[in-house]
Amino acid sequence: MTSDAPRRRRRLSILPEIGQGLDNLRAHKLRSILTMLGMIFGVAAVIAMLSIGAGAQQQVIAFIEQLGVRNVIIEARETTDNAQFQRIRKLSTGLTFRDLRMIEAGVEGLVASSARKRWVPSKVLPRPLGDIPAVFGVGPSYPAISNLTTTRGRFFNEEEAKASAPVAVLGQAAAVGFFGPDNPIDQFLKINDQWYRVIGVAAPRLAAQGDVGGLPAQDYNNIIYIPIGAAILRLEDNQSYFRDEIDAIYLNLSGTANVTSTGTLVRGLLETTHKGAGDYTVVVPAELLAQQQRTKRLFEFVMVAIASISLLVGGIGIMNIMLASVMERTREIGVRRAIGATRRDVVRQFLIETTLITITGGFLGTLVGIGLSELVGYFAGWSTIVTGTSVAVASIVSVVVGIVFGLYPAIRAARLDPVAALHYE
């Protein structure tokens, strides 16, 4: 009990000093507000920049995770330039089912695989409200590989795939574009000159704004999925001459398989058969995910470093104002020292005032930073994420900067000679 009494007295003695610090700040409102501006803008910059960066990176990371971290994707690099096409064809026949069979025979730990044939129809009925959806001819294992689920109906099965049945599964945007609010199941749509029966609607999918790791930008909600045999037998366009037999291969690996090593193996197999034509890209989502996470950490570090410059400027402003305050209150300091205040009491008084400025500035800066990130997200259409980490980092850095830059004025005030301070005018 007796050991707690001094601590209790120290806590009680701080309360009047906090009140006195608030009174001093209120007595010079304009100066206090101007001093806080550096903290406000610094904290707001840290939070806003981190939230914008986190939003952009999170969207890309979520898209990569959707691709499947246990997957390897081979994407064809097709060209419509005749000279380049002829040069490639002297070395390689393009991506083919033969490549798929070779990979299936040479890769261990393969759980599922699917080829893909992509088309953009020249005409469709009924007319969609927006852009004409792309057609993906894929195998029945595609949903398991790409984490595709249906909200209505089902995906086509093995029998329908073998028979090249005229059935289709619509992406979310494609379903709305063709049939609006109506139920599309068992409705019919015409792709080029072939009618297809709708048997399912896929769940909403994420889409990247641009190329990610060699994968072309694609609205994965505005797609029509049909059996790959139906795509090859029933559909064609005016660029068929330049098309590979298939334009992508999807591989799903078991939990014990090394995805990175498998990606290297697939590159080696294709390099042998394509003779260095460079007409394909091997994408390993697990590698992309690790790279994006490293980029995110680096981006956050750089953004914090840049925004901390604002906090540094704010700290210098605090030091200047507190030094001026020491000069203005020299006589007050002398009176306090004369009636028994120690140097530690004087240091504590000025640090309390500095801390009050930084805490208030940090709180207001947090509100401004959250508001800025919301405004950017609203007007620019970007995804922003305000994380607790960004708020904590900005607040802690602002308080530390304020205390560090307020320490010198406090020590200078404590070192004033009491007798000289009493005679100061």
Span 154-160, average pLDDT: 95
Q: Is residue 206 part of a domain?
A: yes
Task: Identify whether 321 is part of a domain.
Answer: yes
304 and 401 in a single domain? The answer is yes
Residues 302 and 249 placed together within one structural domain of the fold: no
**What's the pLDDT band for 1 if we cut at 50, 70, 90?**
very low
Total-model pTM: 0.68
User: Among 67-81, 201-215, 231-245, which range has the highest average pLDDT?
Assistant: 67-81
109 located within any domain: yes
Would residue 286 count as lying in a domain?
Answer: no
Average pLDDT over residues 1-5: 51
Which of 266-280, 346-360, 409-423 is the least confident region? 409-423
Whether 247 and 98 map to the same domain: the answer is yes
What's the mean pLDDT in 138-166? 94
**51 and 143 belong to one structural domain:** no
**Whether residue 148 is found in the same domain as residue 215:** yes
The pLDDT-based confidence of 62 (bands split at 50, 70, 90) is confident
209 and 270 share one domain: no
Task: Answer yes or no: is 8 within a domain.
Answer: no
- Residue 236: band (very low, low, confident or very high) from pLDDT cuts 50, 70, 90: low
Question: Model confidence at 334, in pLDDT bands (50, 70, 90)?
Answer: confident
Residues 292-329: pLDDT tens digits?
777 777 777 777 677 667 677 777 777 777 777 777 77
Stretch 373-388: mean pLDDT, rounded?
A: 78
For the chain, give the mean pLDDT.
82
User: Do 415 and 371 have their domain in common?
Assistant: yes
- Does 175 lie in the same domain as 95? no
Total structural domains within the chain: 3
Answer whether residue 113 shows pLDDT above 80.
Answer: yes
pLDDT at 173: 94
CB neighbour list of residue 318: distance below 8 Å, 6 or more residues apart? 35, 38, 39, 354, 357, 358, 402, 405, 406
Can you give the residue range of the structural domain that contains 335?
Answer: 15-63+292-422
**Within this chain, do residues 251 and 214 fall inside the same structural domain, yes or no?**
no
Whether residues 371 and 304 share a domain: the answer is yes
Asked if the structure places residue 69 within a domain, the reply is: no
**pLDDT (0 to 100) of residue 157:** 95
- Provide mean pLDDT across the span 84-103: 90
pLDDT of res. 166: 93
In a domain, 325, yes or no: yes
Q: Do 362 and 310 sit in the same domain of this protein?
A: yes
Structural domain contains residue 73: no
Question: Per residue in 13-50, pLDDT tens?
Answer: 566 767 766 777 777 777 778 778 877 887 888 788 77
Structure confidence at residue 12 (pLDDT):
46
Does 378 lie in the same domain as 312? Answer: yes
Q: Is the per-residue pLDDT at 245 higher than 50? A: yes
